[in-house]
Amino acid sequence: MGVYETIVRRRTIRRFENKPVSYQALERCVNAARLAPSAANLQPCEYLIIDEENLLDKVFATLKWAGYITDGRPAELEVPRAYIVILVNKDICTEGYQHDVGFAAENITLAALEEGIGSCCFGAIDRKALRKNLNIPPRCIIDLVVALGYPKESPLEEPWRDSVKYWKDEKRVLHVPKRNLKEILHRNTISK
């Protein structure tokens, strides 16, 4: 599968198989993140892989799941099997570090998908609890958490009509509205 096909196929996954993710696959994801573009090449991002069984629940408890749907939180045997916490070293970051984090997160999700691993990125995090649970030093900004595991669902893209809210049908299939290319693509000028 080519890069474009991987991008088109990628969907946020919130239900996972109860199957561990190999450390080698997680390390490949971090390596892909490490190689992402970085403003002034400062490379302030650092990565914390969580795959130890006794820590998975501690990370899960700090995440706020799927605000648009009532059953967005995965069931006990459908939880992520690993996490990558994207940290920013305050000692070397500059304004705009969030762009570095975005590039890194996208590289993680695409590298994971190539391995058959689904992902869900979280900005809604209880950072104070996560810092305490994982002993993250004060020099690190906790920016994003990427939840990972083998997908137990196949969300569907659908045309965006009147709402951005994703939803589940009667078979619990997740539907994700996406804006049409013609609505967002402009060439040389933007008409009113």
Per-residue pLDDT of the chain (192 residues; tens, 9 = 90+): 788 998 988 999 999 999 999 999 999 999 999 999 999 999 999 999 999 999 999 999 999 987 777 777 888 899 999 999 999 999 998 888 999 999 999 999 999 999 999 999 999 999 999 999 999 999 999 999 999 999 999 888 888 888 888 888 888 888 888 998 988 899 899 977
> 37 and 123 share a domain?
yes
For residues 130-158, one letter each, b for 16 or more C-beta atoms within 10 angstroms of the residue's C-beta and e for the rest, the string is bbebbebeeebbbbbbbbbbbbbbebeee
Say if CB 81 and CB 20 are below 8 A apart: yes
Domain span including residue 82: 3-154
Which residues contact residue 176 at a Cβ distance below 8 angstroms, ignoring those fewer than 6 apart?
A: 11, 12, 155, 156, 157, 158, 166
> What is the spatial distance between Cα 101 and Cα 123, in angstroms, rounded to a whole number?
11
> 112 and 38 share a domain?
yes
> 36 and 131 share a domain?
yes
Q: What pLDDT sits at residue 45?
A: 97
Q: What pLDDT sits at residue 162?
A: 83
> 83 and 133 share a domain?
yes
CATH number for the domain spanning 74: value is 3.40.109.10
35, 39, 9, 137: which is closest to 85 by C-alpha?
Answer: 137
Q: What pLDDT sits at residue 86?
A: 98
Q: What pLDDT sits at residue 55?
A: 97
136, 132, 25: which is closest to 82 by C-alpha?
Answer: 25
Q: What pLDDT sits at residue 174?
A: 82
Q: What pLDDT sits at residue 171?
A: 87
Looking at the 3D structure of the chain, how many domains does it have? 2
> 134 and 187 share a domain?
no
> 9 and 85 share a domain?
yes
> 182 and 97 share a domain?
no
Interval 37-79: pLDDT, tens: 999 999 999 999 999 999 999 999 999 987 777 777 888 899 9
> 106 and 132 share a domain?
yes
> 54 and 110 share a domain?
yes
Q: What pLDDT sits at residue 124?
A: 94
Interval 172-182: pLDDT, tens: 888 888 998 98
Q: Which structure tokens are listed for 17?
A: 């198989």
CATH number for the domain spanning 190: value is 2.20.180.10
> 115 and 171 share a domain?
no
> 147 and 161 share a domain?
no
> 113 and 169 share a domain?
no
Q: What pLDDT sits at residue 192?
A: 72
- The model's pTM is 0.93
Q: What pLDDT sits at residue 115?
A: 94
